[in-house]
Amino acid sequence: MFKSSKRWMAAMLAVLMILLVGFASVIIVVDPYFHYHGPLSGLYYELNNERSQNDGIIKHFDYDAMVIGTSMAENYKTSEVDELFGVNSIKTTFAGGTYKELNDNIANAIEVDPDLKLVIRPLDYSYIMDDANRIRDDLGDYPDYLYDDNIFNDVNYFFNKEVLFDICIPMLTDAAAGKEAGITSFDNYANWMDTAEFGADVVLGDRTEFAEPTSREPFVDEVKQQVEENITQNVVQLAKDNPDIQFYYYFTPYSIAWWGSQNELGTVQRWIAAEKYAIELMLECDNIHLFSFNNEFDVTTNLDNYRDECHHGDWINSQILGWMYSGTDELTKDNYEEYINVELDFYTTYNYKGLFE
């Protein structure tokens, strides 16, 4: 009786091991997050999980240029980037990603891809004064096991029942049914245009006024130091260390409604002082091509371009690509102070009440 029980237990353990190995093998072979390899021929890969798939895209795809950024970059079309700049680009956007998160992923791309020669990245204006090491831990658990080199924590990936049953099995079923193989285009990856509404009614919502500020926030030394640490660590240093790569960076052009909110809070002067200091830090690098479109007032004052105070439509992304390629609105040591003066005058004297008339 005892021997029979031992044989039964051994048989059950063997069956369990076979199931677990089979479970893991399917995920490792299909690899929807590209943790081990790029996409396989014969299967269709849906790009729909930025923080889980971007590291694999960076490590296992063929490219010499990348578009990276937050939701402000999600509507970029790599087909337009490739046509303008003559490159083969990927798009690895991180909705809500901080300067550190984006910089770390650019550093990963540089490490694994010796052919990388061009990086296009919006610098979210509202993150200029962030702590240099801030990570968005409010967006759910970060899949660190997909980013590190620890093979032991890969169990979080290849023993993940959602990955197996919700992604891999449907992919194999579709392939067996004759679905065309391929992958989501980078033009469509993370693009949110299909669900967006634009215009003053959407942007302003229930707001009925922008009040006059009761005080103005100064650009104090503590904030200046924070800007220096953030920009130096997460923007400048990587460019200094990689002089053969061209970095096309720009401050995101938020809408006049965002500036109205900041004017109401008394923070416009502080934001622009922080921007000025960040510009001065970045202009020390010859391979950073720095742009700002905040003085493209036809864009920022037209709320039909925006879905909220910050996010603009894809036609603005296309326009920005054209401007960067042609050098329009590029900031230099010779012109940045004039740019700052025009910007400061415009956004501190604008008739924000007129947005409600």
pLDDT in tens, 76-101: 999 999 999 999 999 999 999 999 99
What pairs with residue 183 in β-bridges?
45
Q: Which residue has the higher pLDDT, 245 or 2?
A: 245
Q: Identify the residue whose tokens are 């032991």.
A: 152
pLDDT number for residue 195: 94
What are the structural domains, with CATH classification, of the chain?
34-39+48-150+184-356 (3.40.50.1110)
pLDDT number for residue 8: 47
For residues 266 and 245, what is the distance between their CA atoms, to the nearest angstrom?
39
Closest CA to 186 of 268, 82, 115: 82
31 backbone φψ class: left, alpha, beta (φ>0; ψ -120 to 50) = left
Closest CA to 185 of 87, 316, 95, 76: 76
Q: Identify the residue whose tokens are 């910050």.
A: 310
Q: φ and ψ at 330, to 5 degrees?
A: -75, 135
Confirm if 344 and 287 have CB atoms less than 8 A apart: no
pLDDT number for residue 303: 98
Give the lowest-confidence range in 139-143, 255-259, 262-266.
139-143
Is residue 9 classed exposed, middle or buried when 0-12, 13-18 and 19+ CB atoms within 10 A define those classes?
exposed
pLDDT number for residue 136: 86
Q: For residue 193, what are the CA distances in angstroms to 179, 198, 305, 317?
A: 26, 10, 12, 12
Mean pLDDT (the chain) is 93
Mean pLDDT for the stretch of residues 234-259: 98
Contacts (Cβ under 8 Å, ≥6 apart) of 9: none
**Is-above-0.85 flag for pTM?**
yes
Is residue 262 classed exposed, middle or buried when 0-12, 13-18 and 19+ CB atoms within 10 A define those classes?
buried
Give the tokens for residue 115.
């052919």
pLDDT number for residue 3: 55
Q: How many other β-carbons are positioned within 10 Å of the β-carbon of residue 102?
A: 25
Does the structure show a pLDDT above 50 at 140?
yes
For residues 151 and 164, what is the distance between their CA atoms, to the nearest angstrom?
19
Confidence of residue 23 (pLDDT cuts 50, 70, 90): confident
Mean pLDDT for the stretch of residues 315-325: 98
Give the lowest-confidence range in 22-26, 221-225, 231-235, 348-352.
22-26
Does the structure show a pLDDT above 70 at 337?
yes
For residues 50 and 189, what is the distance between their CA atoms, to the nearest angstrom?
9
